[in-house]
Amino acid sequence: MATFHKAFQVFSSTENSNSIRMPQKHLETTLYMYQVHTLASNLEKYSADPAKVCAQYPWATRFAMGHPLAPWQRPAVWTDEQKVKFITSIWMGADLGSYLVNDWYEYADQAGAFAINSEVLLDGQQRLTALEEYLLGRFGVPDASGQVRFWSELGNEERQRFLNMPFAQARVSSSDEVTLRQAYDLRAFGGTPHSEDQRASS
**149 belongs to a structural domain:** yes
Prediction pTM value: 0.87
Contact 172, 25 (CB under 8 A): no
Helix (H/G/I), strand (E/B), else coil: 83:
helix
Contacts of 155 (CB under 8 A, 6+ apart): none
Name the residue among 194, 172, 183, 187 with its Cα closest to residue 126: 187
Contact 165, 35 (CB under 8 A): yes
**131 belongs to a structural domain:** yes
Reported as a single tens digit per residue, the pLDDT across 124-158 is: 999 999 999 999 999 999 999 999 999 999 999 99
d(CA 86, CA 199): 16
pLDDT at 60: 95
Transcribe 102-141 into DSSP letters.
E----B-STT-PBPTTTT-EEE-HHHHHHHHHHHTTS--E
Name the residue among 72, 190, 54 with its Cα closest to residue 121: 72
Segments forming the whole domain that contains residue 41: 30-189
Please list the ranges in the chain whose pLDDT falls under 50: none
**184 belongs to a structural domain:** yes
**15 belongs to a structural domain:** no
pLDDT at 191: 57
**201 belongs to a structural domain:** no
Name the residue among 124, 119, 63 with its Cα closest to residue 99: 124
**18 belongs to a structural domain:** no
What total of structural domains would you count in the chain?
A: 1
By the 10 Å C-beta count (0-12 exposed, 13-18 middle, 19+ buried), 14 is classed as exposed
d(CA 125, CA 5): 43
CB atoms within 10 A of CB 55: 13
d(CA 162, CA 131): 11
**87 belongs to a structural domain:** yes
Name the residue among 87, 63, 200 with its Cα closest to residue 143: 87
pLDDT at 17: 67
**169 belongs to a structural domain:** yes
pLDDT at 95: 96
pLDDT at 78: 96
Q: Percentage of the chain with pLDDT > 90?
A: 72
